[in-house]
Amino acid sequence: MFTKVSVLIPTRHRIERLRTLLASYERTAQGVEQSSELVFRADDDDVETLRFLEGRHVIAGPRLKGYESLPQFFNELAFAASGDTLMLGNDDMVFVTQGWAARILEAANRFPDGVFNVGVRTHNETHFPFSTVSRRVAEHLGFLYDPRIFWGDIFLRDVMGALGRNVMLDDVEIQHVWAGNDPDQTFLQGEGARRAPGNWMTHHAQAVEEAVERLRGLVSQ
């Protein structure tokens, strides 16, 4: 039985976004404190963010290649988290629906073999569904986020779609500010904006096909 959602959040120099995120988490935290956690990854030279998040679950590490290293950051977070389900979050997410974690876990528990992807309303679900998968999937693949590709939530959505294990919770809303409102300047100005499209075109289909084949044996008939 799945009991806890770990929301994985890489962040850098966006205190106001984090302030909004944390306030929304606390507003929607009816029963959430036992069924969810927020896990942050900050650069070790980002003193302001580390100070702001003091007392919370934070991994501090080198900047590496910045936004280009996002897959590695998410993989670090996945294996440091304590939850048995893992959500690819963001520092510009806003929790809206009360009891969102319980709804995600209810959906996850329809699939005791652990092969599923649960998405929620973000106002741009096609691209940013805030994919939630089981720890078992990450352990079986050896990663949560294939390092060859860039949009891990879309990767997971496509893998689970091929396996017939996608669930979209239309009644659960977690806004993604980039998707619904303002452009994400970290992406627009960062190296990820230049690198990601090439990776997407070159490696995405192959990465999905390989993951599907590796996970197929886990699927209960």
Beta bridge partners of 119: 168
Its domain, for residue 208, covers: 5-216
Task: Give the number of domains in the chain.
Answer: 1
**Which of the residues in the chain have pLDDT under 70?**
30-33, 124-128, 178-201, 221
Segment 19-37, tens digit of pLDDT: 999 999 999 976 556 899 9
- Domain for residue 208, yes or no? yes
User: Residue 94 corresponds to which tokens in the numbers above?
Assistant: 């806003």
Segment 139-157, tens digit of pLDDT: 999 999 998 887 788 889 9
pLDDT for position 193: 45
- Supply the DSSP symbol for 144: S
- Domain for residue 157, yes or no? yes
User: Residue 143 corresponds to which tokens in the numbers above?
Assistant: 């990663």
pLDDT for position 190: 46
- Domain for residue 33, yes or no? yes
Provide the strand spans (E) within 28-142.
36-43, 58-61, 85-88, 93-95, 117-121, 132-134
- Domain for residue 221, yes or no? no
CATH of the domain at 46: 3.90.550.10
CA dist., res. 130 & res. 89, Å (int): 6
User: Residue 71 corresponds to which tokens in the numbers above?
Assistant: 């897959």
- Domain for residue 123, yes or no? yes
pLDDT for position 151: 79
- Domain for residue 179, yes or no? yes
CB 6 within 8 A of CB 85: yes
- Domain for residue 176, yes or no? yes
CB 91 within 8 A of CB 177: no
Grouping H, G, I as helix, E, B as strand and the rest as coil, residue 118 is strand
pLDDT for position 141: 97
CA dist., res. 67 & res. 77, Å (int): 15
pLDDT for position 67: 79
Grouping H, G, I as helix, E, B as strand and the rest as coil, residue 1 is coil
pLDDT for position 36: 95
Q: Which of 62, 112, 59, 56 is nearest to 84 (CA)?
A: 112
